[in-house]
Amino acid sequence: MPLLSTSELSKRFGALQVVDRINLEIRSGEILGLIGPNGAGKTTLLNLITGFVKPSSGLVSFGKRNITTKAPYVRVSYGMARTFQTPQLFSEMTVRENVIMGGTAKSAFQLHGTSKMDLEKKSGEILDLVELSRAARVRANELPYGHQRKLEIARALMTDPHLLLLDEPAAGMTDAEAASIAVLLRTIQLQGCTVAVVDHNMRLIMNVCERIVVMNFGKIIANGSPAEIRSHPSVVAAYLGAA
């Protein structure tokens, strides 16, 4: 059974069909890439999966659960976390406080309490993981852009996700910063978390993803290994505008 699956998932905004009958599986333990031209429907699909947008039709399943109508915070309690195209941080809070907020949100709907000491210890471990320990007392809005992207990933990791969905984590980054994101994603995977990543950085996608799904005009047009996707005729046509 896949960790997450969608069945005939669709979203229409007025006359515009943004996501069109998507059947997607995310397998436990993999790093999945989701790519496509601008306007292909990638972010809308992530919003449908995470509950920020309600589908026009279709189903979303997480493990054995039908989560199609569940609120985002409920999906977090089941083990799903995400980041956004633009970092959604508490700008006046410190880096450590931002990370702790992820753990606070998680513990708010658990049956057992989480102590402040537990949250601080865990936040320290995650800051080490994303290489932001030295900036722990810096306000989020004072961080360089690349570090803000890592901070949002750190906060998501505080929820103990089984599935981490990332929306353009390498956007606006230098090659060196994007390479550090690739290393981080592999480390997260080795720690037992499944990752799905949307990005336009093809070097990142091709180097870190074991499987890639390609969307265009709201539909999946290809699904395969990086080698298969690189030479897929439909993918070449979607990106280059020619068969």
- What pLDDT is recorded for position 241? 63
Tens-digit pLDDT profile for residues 56-67: 999 999 999 999
With a cut of 70, list the residues of the chain below it in pLDDT: 104-115, 240-243
- What pLDDT is recorded for position 89? 87
- Provide the whole-model pTM: 0.90
Q: What is d(CA 5, CA 61) in angstroms, rounded to the nearest whole number?
A: 5
Residue type, 196: A
Cα dihedral across residues 131, 94, 50, 43: positive or negative: negative
CB 91 within 8 A of CB 140: yes
- What pLDDT is recorded for position 1? 76
How far, rounded to the nearest angstrom, does the alpha carbon of residue 177 sit from its chain's CA centroid? 18
CB 12 within 8 A of CB 36: no
Cα dihedral across residues 199, 202, 208, 213: positive or negative: positive
- What pLDDT is recorded for position 91? 81
- What pLDDT is recorded for position 120? 84
Closest by alpha carbon to 199, among 187, 189, 186, 213? 213
CB 43 within 8 A of CB 199: no
Domains parsed from the chain with CATH numbers: 1-79+161-243 (3.40.50.300), 89-160 (no CATH)
Closest by alpha carbon to 192, among 156, 161, 234? 161
- What pLDDT is recorded for position 119? 83
Tens-digit pLDDT profile for residues 137-162: 999 999 998 899 999 999 999 999 99
